[in-house]
Amino acid sequence: MENKTVSWDEKDILTVVEQYQKALGLLDAYDHQTMERPQGHKDVYRLTYQECKQVIASMSFGKESQLFGNEKDDSFQGSIAAIYQTFGEKEVYPSLEEKAANLLYFVTKNHSFSDGNKRIAAAIFLYFLHKNGILFADGRKRLDDSALVSLTILIAQSKPSEKDMMTRLIMNCLI
């Protein structure tokens, strides 16, 4: 078998780096714990517990498992309510992106269900983005499937002390 050496010229390298500048910048900010909280947008839609239950009921996984979507306690309602909390008449999570990031975080981490916590968290997160008109950007998914899976698993595996960094990462991925 012939061994061929592939050489990248500087233009190729620069093109690749430029194409992924945002991702590389976010990785650098993550490594140095300097990730900014982006400004974000005002949310236009308020999510309710009842419609979230409808989203869960519509998911096909419920047909495969009697445990899927069964709430263990009231923490799911708390996760939804938490993104709308205020302090001193100011929203704790003022932007749409911050509410969305914290919704994904809370539903993933609270383990409110006997089965399906990550799938439910991701579905409710997507539904929230859709209802607020930012699920798609220029006709394309704002977060592709791989990014959604990676972020959800990253949250599930994270330590509680990393919450702020996790939510900032999600917010930056949505901007």
CA distance 36 to 160: 19
The 10s digit of each residue's pLDDT in 68-102 is 877 899 999 999 999 999 999 999 999 999 999 99
CA distance 94 to 86: 9
In the predicted model, residues of the chain with pLDDT beneath 70 are 1-8, 62-64
pLDDT of residue 6: 55
pLDDT of residue 59: 87
Q: Are 158 and 147 in contact (CB under 8 A)?
A: no
Domains in the chain, ordered, with CATH?
Answer: 46-174 (1.20.120.1870)
How many CA atoms are closer than 13 Å to the CA of 137, on its beta-carbon side?
Answer: 7
CA distance 172 to 37: 7
Q: Are 26 and 169 in contact (CB under 8 A)?
A: yes
Q: Are 126 and 148 in contact (CB under 8 A)?
A: yes
CA distance 66 to 99: 30
Q: Are 124 and 112 in contact (CB under 8 A)?
A: no
Q: Which residues contact 82 (CB under 8 A, 6 or more apart)?
A: 102, 106
Q: Are 111 and 79 in contact (CB under 8 A)?
A: no
pTM beyond 0.85, yes or no: yes
